[in-house]
Amino acid sequence: MPERSFEEMKAAQAVLESRIVAACNKCGRARERVLLIWVSKFHPMESVEKALSLGAVDFGENRVQEAVLKFSVKRPGVRCHIIGPVQSNKLRPAATVADAIHSIDDLKSVGKLERICSEFGKHLDILFEVNTSEEASKSGVSMEDAESFLLSLPETEFVRYRGLMTIGKNTGVAEDSRKGFAFLRNLRDKMKARGGAFSDFSELSMGMTGDLEVAIEEGATMIRVGTALFGERDYSRPVNDPV
């Protein structure tokens, strides 16, 4: 699959933007309240460069190594979001390259990230992933355990608890994701109301190419979009493909 040209990506951005605006209008939300994360995973650096020329500032990667290769050289104003599960031995490079990690689902990682970030005095935004799809294969805390898990979190100084993330049901029917998204919003509201360590617990990272309208209607503050912007991914591309 060839990568999209600049013109193709520009056209795709316009189509996506009209989808986002229409969804915001439908539920009376301001477009500015929905952050678009350009999910560039499995796409080469030349596609990231095209996105940057189109004004993209937030990028999502699900593999730490790929994020490091693409985003270690910091560009002013550009943010890297890690959106995939991070193994314990990759937390250090993840914390170093990322501005936010969306996919934390265990206590141990929180402690480790706090220690790592304290070393360089870096503030790192983290979101907790909840498995709302009820598929055992997916990562994330179960819906049942999510609240007690959040209540068990320690007070931190460098790691900031910013909100929740989920992946909708991948059925091909966007509406199937709605219940999970609504669950996430209710849990976010409940936690934020507690204040303290949760006073900045505002973010809802949910919605992808197939279900972003439903996510926006249910209150998404961040949508993670890959295919609609960059086209299909070539999963055979090695992570260290010179890009």
In this chain, which of 40, 47, 62, 221 binds ligand PLP, going by CB under 6 A? Answer: 62
- Whether the CB-CB separation of 174 and 213 falls below 8 Å is answered with yes
Q: Which region, left, alpha or beta, applies to residue 196 given φ > 0 means left and ψ of -120 to 50 means alpha?
A: left
169 part of the interface to ligand PLP, by CB under 6 A: no
Q: Which stretch binds ligand PLP (CB under 6 A): 49-57, 120-128, 148-156, 221-229?
A: 221-229
Using CB under 6 A as the criterion, what x/- string covers residues 87-126 for binding ligand PLP? ----------------------------------------
174 part of the interface to ligand PLP, by CB under 6 A: no
In the chain, DSSP assigns E strands to 35-39, 58-61, 79-82, 100-104, 124-131, 141-142, 159-165, 203-205, 222-225
In this chain, which of 84, 85, 163, 168 binds ligand PLP, going by CB under 6 A? Answer: 84
- Whether the CB-CB separation of 14 and 54 falls below 8 Å is answered with no
Task: Locate 73 and state its tokens.
Answer: 């050289």
Burial class (CB in 10 A: 0-12, 13-18, 19+), 71: buried
The whole-angstrom separation of Cα 220 and Cα 184 is 9
23 part of the interface to ligand PLP, by CB under 6 A: no
Q: Give the phi and the psi of residue 17 in degrees, each rounded to 5.
A: -60, -40
4 part of the interface to ligand PLP, by CB under 6 A: no
132 part of the interface to ligand PLP, by CB under 6 A: no
81 part of the interface to ligand PLP, by CB under 6 A: no
Cβ 210 to ligand PLP shortest distance, Å: 6
Cβ 179 to ligand PLP shortest distance, Å: 18
Q: Which of 195, 128, 122 is nearest to 161 (CA)?
A: 128
Using CB under 6 A as the criterion, what x/- string covers residues 177-216 for binding ligand PLP? -------------------------------xxx------
- The count of residues in the chain is 243
Query: What residue ranges bind ligand PLP (CB under 6 A)?
Result: 39, 41, 62, 83-84, 167, 208-210, 224-228
